[in-house]
A and B are shown apart, each in its own frame.
Chain A
């Protein structure tokens, strides 16, 4: 998911010429429905009219095909258009794209947001869209004035002639929409950027501070009912029998229906629906997963880890070198299942009519959701519309490969035949599966007499995320799910003999990508174990890494920057220590230095995190800082608290009291430093997460001498009084 395919200029020119750009700058927003027709034309990767609209009122509406879940795409993507369009930034409005192939992810063949790819994949397309529109505005002005285009320039929402006369974009919009699209476009040199690369205020902040931002849970359509669903307490379970009389007595409850995953209680409001659900009497058939338990799985994983798995990377002769090495180090690591726990619990509203279906939801995966819903309600995909609302957090959960929360709502809508909002309580959300997989790792390494690592062996055990999804063929090659070994197979350290292998046991717990996917696990393991090697070699963990990264200047660059800014060599207050970690993910390089203390009860306190990031070319530096802060808190919650465990097939956590997360009182001071770079853009929503757990655990080791090899960190292990 991390490779970017460049849209060829050839394709763009072809498309623009074919479509003539006729709708680029209409007076009115193009009817969204009509887009379906244009999209039916073969190979239309770029359709400027789908992304920019300029009204006679000078308002520039930019239609964003990515979901805004906090990562700032409703600002960063419009910035890319506006930069080339030369419009007035204050006139920019954002609208969520409908589902249409024209809005497909440039690599996925479907519309979706994830893998920290939005800026990386849209940079070229949106820059070209903005340029084409600008050129057409200039052409319209030149024709109006009967002057040469070369004597006109665009600036801040105006086309200005050398004589000094000017017209606004709004005045030119209608005429410009009839201009032919330019045959070729010349993008700005980054040195000419006036918006991109500058700290820019988010466009969505005002509505997120006055309660007006509309999330899926806020949708209210006429005659809408509210439903909750009682689902099997064990994954894969089924309803054996149920009694609904008492539920139906609850005032407000309208209907109780059995649907595919359980029993839905449909009511006039949420409280009636949940009260009705509590009154249900259901006998469940727990099915084949009734005996699942975390302790049992752990044993299974630990013994699997002692056997050879599918080889993800092999270089040299690690086994031989290992046995002959002057010093051998071995360790086992483990991390648990994690819930995404988005602040807004899952929900989906559907208005199903005989020949149409409208869906309102905060989703990261519009095409998949639309197709899945169509199949269930028995309509064609084109008859199903998806309205993407703001997402109250996504972190991967709202890109479900099976569209679980939309599918469930579609089942309910089909059964009740009325507009219905299907809501998940926090408990439903937390127990509902699709977790970050639990992982078990077994490692061994050898050092030569000078303390240089000569061999590295890493066996990984954990469920494949891609297996059993529509992405299986794409994601699994030679028995290796790339997401299982990312960040482990391609460790950057100069070690001549390497073996990384993988076991992918099939377990009945639904798993999914969780902010930074495989990296959330592999960075912890690799960056902790390399710290163990540094210690075994008697070397400073920063210098040890630095020396091994000579061939990887960007990893080394952020490592040095973080260490310098953190004052790696400078003394700290008594009882504090620093730890460091560096990791590449999603095309970006991040190093973090964490400063921690541990109280006598064994509780870890993270005081400060210095973060260095090299994500190539930057759109909005303030968003990058925000995403680093965000990723650090998200990863710290996992390091300090996160664990979903199972007993007798049932998930043991259900709300924020049993699944704790970092609160403001535990917030470290975060300082972010961005490397100036002209490299191609990297992702930013996820890469802040992976380094924090190892940075913190390495600091704990530096302070206490205790190596944390299992997350979350347990106070019992660090208690001194």
Chain B
């Protein structure tokens, strides 16, 4: 069985590691990949890291990207355009709470659109 994958994008590697730890206490099977910090692990975001994370989290059910601040969203959008896949989406939701809800929904075997809808309704 495959799940909607989740990519956590933050300016800080520590932020996404912490969020993943919190989610993993509850949700074990949903793919969660991290794209925190720049290529040098400094504060910032990296398209390359996001692309790698998308590839790892990818299943035919698609991937959801969660981000923290504005410039992370721009990099996320570029990574999606470059992937040339149409089942990768970004949602506007608080990174921690939103990712938690997304993981729960995905774990219930929801489709990408259903997970997105749950997040749009919830925040």
Partners in one complex: no
